[in-house]
Amino acid sequence: MKRREFLAVAAAASASFSIPRVFAAPHTSGGISSQPSSRLDAGATVGDTAGKLLILIELKGGNDGLNTVVPFADSTYYALRRHIAIPRERVLPLDAHTALHPALHPLMSSWRDGQLAVVQGVGCSHAHASHFRSAEIWETGSCANVYRRDGWLSRMVGQWATMGQSVVTASFGSAEAGPFASAATRSASDNAWKRVDDPDAASYADEADADISGPVTNARLDSLAGAPTFRDSIEAALRTIFDDARPHATGAIRLTLDGFDTHSNQPMRHATLLNQLADGCATLRAELMRRGRWRDALIVTYSEFGRSVQENTDRGTEHGGASAHFLMGGAVQGGLYGRAPDLTRLDDNGNLPVAVDFRQLYATVLGPFLKLDVKAVLHDDIQPLPLLRA
């Protein structure tokens, strides 16, 4: 393994799996733009939204949607990814054309129970290739040409506050507030944010990229970084929900799983990350079901962008366009949504075009699930996806 890649992976593990940090979400939008409205969805009341639990999972680095939700019946997929495509005989079929990566096997029970929605073609129109600008777009819930300082979850919690609700908020696995950022806290830490380099532009002590032998495994990274795992973050989140909060409290939790910037040697790294994601989601589901909270819980994934359609010479992928995302919960109407990838019709950059505005995921959370005013949070008329049970 090359030194540049080794250091990048180790740094990602250290940053992602730092000691879980809890953020107290603000009760206002921080004075940026208009204040959240107290108007609810039609017919909703405070009682309707009490006890709802949102769990947002960040796939940091840009997840490869094509190897997550695999178009295994498409010969073009195998032609463009000769070394990293998932073999047909190993995939987990969802229908005659679409399958999950085999590492996602723990999600199949949710799929069979009709509680896993797979949304394809999700992204941001006119997206930015920078990790941090793209993440900022997703975390503020804004258009690519709009610059905000407050995260969409901070605005959501602000609307909850106007309803007089008590809300449990926490973020695990990242030192950044992300979607919980308020204008005030972001302004106070502007210098710190500016000091963080884009991983693709970072300088390294040894630019010769000397080889470092040995496989990069979870155990090896943990020993190098001395860091907790994604499983630890899952357990910390469950403790927050059940031990530190009043019973059936309304809550918003953000979890970060880092390492998806797979420019090289992608197959093993990606499989390991996807298995951690699936195991974590299965653990959350089992515990929430046991505690009687699954019907009122919604798990949603997000990532700053997808990956390139064609593999690169290092058996990896570059920054790309649209990707696939998951929504899980007792209220989810499982199935395939969005638009399956057409690998013969790419955008001008050779990436998958966006078919579903990423903010539609948020609108689904805010409107049908939480019964909040979507426009007051997203500052735009964004339509939810029809994937929740009535």
Given a cut of 50, whether residue 175 has pLDDT beyond it is: yes
| Boundaries of every domain in the chain | 19-182+228-378
Given a cut of 60, whether residue 220 has pLDDT beyond it is: no
In three-state secondary structure terms, 189 is coil
In three-state secondary structure terms, 297 is strand
Residue 337 and residue 314: Cα distance in Å, rounded?
Answer: 32
What angle, 0 to 180 degrees and rounded to 10, lies between the N-to-C axes of helices 3-16 and 218-225?
A: 70
Residue 52 and residue 46: Cα distance in Å, rounded?
Answer: 11
Largest CA distance in the chain: 63
What global pTM score does this model have? 0.81
Residue 119 and residue 306: Cα distance in Å, rounded?
Answer: 13
How far does CA 14 lie from the centroid of its chain?
A: 19
| 280 in Cβ contact with 255 (< 8 Å) | yes
Return the percentage of the chain with pLDDT > 90, whole number.
65
In three-state secondary structure terms, 201 is helix
Return the percentage of the chain with pLDDT > 70, whole number.
75
The DSSP code for 307 is B
Residue 119 and residue 345: Cα distance in Å, rounded?
Answer: 19
- The CATH fold of domain 19-182+228-378: Alkaline Phosphatase, subunit A (3.40.720)
Q: What is the pLDDT averaged over residues 154-161?
A: 91
Q: Which tens digit of pLDDT belongs to each residue from 111-134? A: 999 999 999 999 998 766 788 899
User: Which of 381, 387, 327, 318 shows the shortest CA–CA distance to 352?
Assistant: 318
Q: What's at 129, amino acid-wise?
A: A
Q: How many CB atoms lie within 10 A of CB 7?
A: 17
